[in-house]
Chain A
Amino acid sequence: MAKVTREVVERAGVDVDQLLELLVKNASAEITTYYYYTILRFNLIGLAGEGIKEIAETARIEDRNHFEALLPRIYELGGNLPQDMKEFHDMSACPPAHLPADPTDVTAILKVLVEAERCAVRGYTQICNMTAGKDHRTYDLALAILNEEIEHESWFSEFLGEGPSGHFLRRGETSPFVSKFLR
């Protein structure tokens, strides 16, 4: 634990235990989403599915990056992860992104993907709101992740016919916002 780091955040008025619980829950959401997206990606096949497979893969890799980026901050603030993986799974900030009953229904898969991203957008918005002007490092991290989650949501939303995403897909890179936390 970084003692002074935690102390200054507490003195700024943040309930650090509550913040840690949120960070751990969102770390769980990221790694479980990475797992569930693996299954979703494998099932994005055929004329409709192949066009979406690449963005599902990008979102999957970036969610794993978010998990990796969150962990140092959790330990810096004095938190830790559960010993038991099942316990960790069940405390996720977002519901499991299960493969739909009909795995050939690409629209149903897209709805699962967009719901997962929307849950993440809400979660990191909450953390940003809690830490803005008080815990600069967690805010910077949560904002970086939020930027990527928003882009994921907009990609899947576009394929659901909800309107243009407003930007291009990645060009070979991943995590343009979060990568500075992965070095």
Chain B
Amino acid sequence: MRTFTSDELARYDGKDGRPAYIGYNGKVYDVSDSFLWRNGKHQALHVAGVDLTKALDSAPHGADLLDRFPVVGSLTQRANQDVQEDGK
């Protein structure tokens, strides 16, 4: 399975017909087909192409909803560290 750096993940922002990928807990999910991720934006609050591990802590839903989407890769350790260091 493919591994993604933060920069590589950022290319899949869902804009202009590009696929929409999001990171969560070391995995990369393809949310392109989701109505709720049209144009790479989710509920006015989140964008595709980033790791949303921390953001999901304050979301009104659990990580179980991600089970509906295919996993297309994993995040590199560096990408995970960036998220932890940002504390976001």
Contacts and interface: CB of A to CB of B under 8 A. Distances in A.
Interface size class of B (residues with CB under 8 A): 10 to 19
Contacts, number: 29
Q: Which 9 A-B pairs have the closest CB atoms?
A: A21-B44, A95-B35, A125-B60, A122-B60, A126-B60, A22-B44, A122-B61, A18-B44, A93-B43
Q: Which of A18, A123, A125, A126 has the most CB of B within 10 A?
A: A126
Interface of B: 35-36, 38, 43-45, 58-61
Contacts of B43: 22, 25, 93, 123, 126
Tell me if B's interface is mostly helix, strand, loop or mixed: loop
Nearest to A130: B45
Interface of A: 18, 21-22, 25, 90, 92-96, 121-123, 125-126, 129
B59 to A, nearest CB: 8
B77 to A, nearest CB: 31
A94 B45 CA distance: 14
Contacts of A92: 35
21 contacts: A18-B44, A18-B45, A21-B44, A22-B43, A22-B44, A22-B45, A25-B44, A92-B35, A93-B36, A93-B43, A94-B35, A95-B35, A95-B36, A121-B60, A122-B61, A123-B43, A123-B60, A125-B60, A126-B45, A126-B59, A126-B60
